[in-house]
Amino acid sequence: MKKILRRFEIQQLFLMIILAYGLPQLGDWLGWYGVTPIVWIFFILNGGYALYFGWQIRKHGLSPLWLVVQPLIFALLTTLLLNLVSNQYGYYFSLFYLILSLFTFLRDTRDDPDENFVSVENGFHDLGN
C-alpha cells in the first residue's frame, strides 16, 4: 500500500502549523504589539517560508495544489479558529504567501526534472518493432 503522505510532506505540514500558530503566540508572549510582529513574524519568517516552500514543491515534484496549503492553514488556523490575527491581515497575508510561493514555484525551470523528456507528439517509431 502506497503511503498517502511522504515524510517530507508531513514535516512541511508540521512546520506550517508551527508558523501559523506558534509564532503569533510567541509574539504575544514576548509582548510584541503594533508593527513588530507584522514585520518579523508575518513578512520575514512566514514570507521566507513561503518562498522556501514554493521552491521545495518544485524540487520534490509535488502537485501545484500544495501551493494553497500554507495560505489555507494560515487563514484557517490563525485567522478563523484562533483569532490571533485580525481578519483583514489574515486574508491579505494568506494571499501574499500564495503569491510568494508561486514566484519560487514558477521560477527558472532549467533544473526541472521534466525539462529533458522526449516529446511524444509524433509518437515513438522504434518501439516494439
Strand spans (E) along the chain: none
* Domain, as residue range, for 52: 11-107
Question: What's the number of CA atoms in the CB half-sphere (13 Å) around residue 116?
Answer: 4
> Can you tell me the distance from the alpha carbon of 70 to that of 14, in angstroms, rounded to the nearest whole number?
11
> Can you tell me the distance from the alpha carbon of 41 to that of 128, in angstroms, rounded to the nearest whole number?
58
Asked if residue 114 is part of any domain, the answer here is no
Asked if residue 55 is part of any domain, the answer here is yes
Q: Region 28-41: what's the mean pLDDT?
A: 79
> Can you tell me the distance from the alpha carbon of 18 to that of 7, in angstroms, rounded to the nearest whole number?
17
Asked if residue 24 is part of any domain, the answer here is yes
Asked if residue 113 is part of any domain, the answer here is no
Asked if residue 126 is part of any domain, the answer here is no
The count of domains in the chain is 1
Asked if residue 115 is part of any domain, the answer here is no
Note the pTM of the prediction, 2 decimals: 0.73
> Is it the case that residue 23 has pLDDT exceeding 90?
no
Residue 103, pLDDT score: 92
Q: Region 87-113: what's the mean pLDDT?
A: 83
Q: Terminus-to-terminus CA distance in the chain, angstroms?
A: 35
pLDDT digits (tens, 9 = 90+) for 45-94: 999 999 999 999 888 888 889 999 989 998 898 888 888 778 888 889 89
